[in-house]
Amino acid sequence: MVSRWTSRKSSGRRLKRAISIRQPYAEQILLGVKTEEYRSVPTKIRERVYIYASLGPGDSVDFRKMKAEPGDFPTGVLVGTVEIVNCKWDSRRGCFAYGLERPRRLVRPLRSPKRPQPVWWRPF
């Protein structure tokens, strides 16, 4: 179940990190359809993080699968949060898979005063 969430805190702690993800993949995470994020480097992070919808779009084939096109989803903003619960090597894809659980969409997307980075960064 995907819930609405407006606070910058999780379990009494302020969220510290954001992960940059292109659309439509950020939207797929928020819908609970995408449960793994694939990266070339492992992570030891095991906590709730912001999802930053990157400015650059993902593959047009993935937009068509969602009956959408670039520009249909917000970009350049924090759109929600998700828990990173594990990281394992995916030998079939040849990269690391970050396990994602309990996505929460922000009621209103947030702009960060800081410049986003390609993977992890601190938005506030």
Give the mean pLDDT per block of 10 residues along the chain (124 residues).
Answer: 40 80 98 98 98 96 96 97 98 98 97 92 94
Residue 49 lies in a domain: yes
Residue 22 lies in a domain: yes
Residue 67: per-residue pLDDT: 97
Residue 52 lies in a domain: yes
Residue 14: per-residue pLDDT: 81
* Residue ranges making up the domain that contains 77: 15-109
Q: Which residue has the tokens 């709730």?
A: 48
CA distances, 93 to each of 96, 97, 112 (Å): 8, 9, 32
Q: What is the pTM of this model?
A: 0.88
Q: Look up residue 40 and give its amino acid.
A: S
For residue 42, how many other CB atoms are within 10 A of its CB? Answer: 13
CATH number at residue 87: 2.30.130.30
Residue 4 lies in a domain: no
Residue 42 lies in a domain: yes
Residue 119 lies in a domain: no
Q: Look up residue 116 and give its amino acid.
A: P
What domain count does the chain have?
1
Residue 13: per-residue pLDDT: 59
Ramachandran quadrant class, 65 (left: phi over 0; alpha: psi -120 to 50; beta: rest): alpha
